[in-house]
Structure formats: structure tokens, C-alpha cells
């Protein structure tokens, strides 16, 4: 089981919109040196909706090659087409990704049975550890705890990224999991930086973090403290990071974190349409949050 701070990595781009692989490699090396516990590539923060399948696969391949086994790579390979999710996951498996992050199918609003059958089909087609990703604020469909518990019984379903922000719901899932999975490891990760500390302190395995893009060392240390039960130390670190947890979502993700990394001199400023560069008004907001958290720029 991967524990700790798993960065939801941005995808740097040149001014013409092509992927900036030199900057991407530098980000990966920085995260490895800073103690980040895993890379999550081609998720929401990686702009997966606007990369075509070839680009998507190339980014996953590059991340795995660059990480070279020094840090786990989790590839976002979900989709609202079951067959497309299978094809993306097959590629991730073939190039050596350590796990797949499978988002709940979006837009087409499947039932709970449809969700179960979708994820089951992916697990049967590709033998790779799969982390489910529930983010109803983006997908509309909501993967209920009962369905998660059904899916957790499948051999290669090993975790859940919970981006509901509902701690009571997460506690209910964690309470019910042992009776269903027995000794099989099953990790529940927070998909929200602002509630990650609370989730880890009640038994969560870590956080798939946007804030870690800017402060990887501090997110790693906060998650390590929380997962080890050192609430006092974790709270001190989390209090420092809270301005970023909150203000990096002043515009739809990944608008603010990409601009912040540009402000830090780590990547270019380009973001693909239909998203646009952070507004001047919110640049002031994000800069203030960066100062409060002690981000060097």
C-alpha cells in the first residue's frame, strides 16, 4: 500500500500547447528529491481531458521512464467510455505504471450497477492495481460506499481516492471495510487537500494532493506525521499549508497551481482551452497564499 503524499502532477506545456517534457522531467526529479511518496499523472490536475489518447499515453510513458522505479507512478487511465478506459489502462500496464487511477465515468450518469460493471470490466481486462476515483463535483455520478465495498472485493481494486470532502462518509467506509476485504490492503486517500489531515487521522492512507505541486517536502512531512498518528506535528504543518489548500481552488483546477508553478519559475504559463490563465484578480489571491505558506518565488 502506498501511503503519504501522492502528488497530482501538473503537465507543463510550451506556449504552442505541446507538452514541455524538459520541465516535466525537472518536476519529477524535484518531487523525488523532496520525498513525495508517489506521482499521480494524467489526472484532473494533469489536464487529461484536453490531451488526446496519444499524448496521454506519451506522458504516462515518459513519467514511468523518468521515475525509473525510484518512486511509484500511478496513471490516470479512466474515462466515461469503458473501452477507452481499458485501452488507456492496458498501455499504462505495458509501460510499467505501478497502478491505475480510475475516475467515475462522467457526463453519461451511470447507475450504481453501471459503475460496478464498468470498473469490473476494467479489472478483468487489465491485471494492474486499481484505485477508484470518486469526484461527484466533476462527474455528477457518485460512487456510493456500498458500491465501493462491492468493488473492494475484486482482487486488483486496492484503493479509493475520495474527493467528496465528507469525513463522516469516509469514516463509515473505513469502519465497514475490514468485514469485506479481510487482510487485503485497501487504501482510502483524500482527494481534497483541505480535509486530508482529518481523513488521515481517522485511518486514511494519504492524500492525492494539488498543494504538493508547490510544497512537496512539507506535504510529505505532514502526511507522514498524520499517518503515524502524530496529530500535533501534522497540524502545525497543515496550518501552514492551509492557505494553499484553500486558494489553489479559486479557479477550476489546475488553473491556479499551474500559474503558481509558473510564478516560481518551474514551468511555462500555458494551459489548454477551455481553461485559461489565472485572472489578474486571483493572481493576487494566490500570491498572498504562497507568501503565507512560505513558498519561494
Give the pLDDT of residue 131.
98
pLDDT at 244 exceeding the cut of 90:
yes
CB 104 within 8 A of CB 115: yes
pLDDT digits over 130-165, tens only?
999 999 999 999 999 999 999 999 999 999 999 999
Q: Which residues are designated catalytic?
A: 133, 161
Give the pLDDT of residue 240.
98
- Measured over the CA atoms of residue 72, residue 230, residue 234 and residue 138, the dihedral's sign is positive
Integer-rounded Cα radius of gyration of the chain:
18
Query: What is the pTM assigned to this prediction?
Result: 0.97
Helix-, strand-, coil-residue percentages of the chain, each rounded to 5? 50, 15, 35
pLDDT digits over 70-92, tens only?
999 999 999 999 999 999 999 99
Distance, in Å, from the CA atom of 180 to the CA atom of 199, rounded to the nearest integer, reads: 20
Give the pLDDT of residue 65.
98
pLDDT digits over 87-132, tens only?
999 999 999 999 999 999 999 999 999 999 999 999 999 999 999 9
CB 198 within 8 A of CB 222: no
pLDDT digits over 204-228, tens only?
999 999 999 999 999 999 999 999 9
Give the pLDDT of residue 79.
96
Read off the pLDDT band of 1 (50, 70, 90).
confident
Q: Which domains does the chain have, with CATH numbers?
A: 4-234 (3.20.20.70)
Amino acid at each position: 500500500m502506498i501511503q503519504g503524499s501522492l502528488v497530482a502532477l501538473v503537465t507543463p506545456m510550451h506556449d504552442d500547447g505541446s507538452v514541455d517534457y524538459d520541465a516535466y522531467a525537472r518536476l519529477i526529479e524535484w518531487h523525488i528529491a523532496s520525498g513525495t511518496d508517489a506521482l499521480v499523472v494524467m489526472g484532473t490536475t494533469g489536464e487529461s481531458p484536453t490531451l488526446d489518447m496519444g499524448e496521454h499515453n506519451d506522458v504516462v510513458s515518459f513519467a514511468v521512464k523518468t521515475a525509473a522505479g525510484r518512486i511509484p507512478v500511478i496513471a490516470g487511465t479512466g474515462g466515461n467510455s469503458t473501452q477507452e478506459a481499458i485501452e488507456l489502462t492496458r498501455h499504462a500496464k505495458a509501460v510499467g505504471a505501478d497502478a491505475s487511477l480510475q475516475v467515475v465515468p462522467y457526463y453519461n450518469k451511470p447507475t450504481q450497477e453501471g459503475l460496478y460493471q464498468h470498473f469490473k470490466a476494467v479489472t478483468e481486462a487489465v491485471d494492474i492495481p486499481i484505485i477508484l476515483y470518486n469526484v461527484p463535483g466533476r462527474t455528477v455520478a457518485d460512487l456510493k460506499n456500498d458500491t465501493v465495498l462491492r468493488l473492494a472485493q475484486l482482487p486488483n481494486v486496492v484503493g479509493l481516492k475520495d474527493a467528496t470532502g465528507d469525513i463522516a462518509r469516509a469514516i463509515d467506509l473505513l469502519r465497514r471495510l475490514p468485514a469485506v476485504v479481510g487482510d487485503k490492503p485497501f487504501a482510502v486517500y483524500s482527494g481534497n487537500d483541505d480535509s486530508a489531515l482529518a481523513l488521515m487521522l481517522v485511518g486514511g492512507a494519504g492524500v492525492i494532493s494539488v498543494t504538493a505541486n508547490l510544497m512537496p517536502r512539507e506535504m510529505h512531512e505532514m502526511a507522514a506525521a498524520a499517518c503515524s498518528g502524530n496529530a500535533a506535528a501534522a497540524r502545525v504543518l497543515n496550518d501552514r499549508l492551509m492557505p494553499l489548500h484553500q486558494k489553489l481552488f479559486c479557479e477550476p483546477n489546475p488553473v491556479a497551481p499551474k500559474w503558481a508553478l509558473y510564478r516560481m519559475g518551474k514551468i511555462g504559463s500555458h494551459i489548454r482551452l477551455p481553461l485559461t490563465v489565472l485572472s489578474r484578480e486571483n493572481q493576487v489571491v494566490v500570491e498572498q497564499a504562497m507568501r503565507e505558506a512560505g513558498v519561494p518565488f
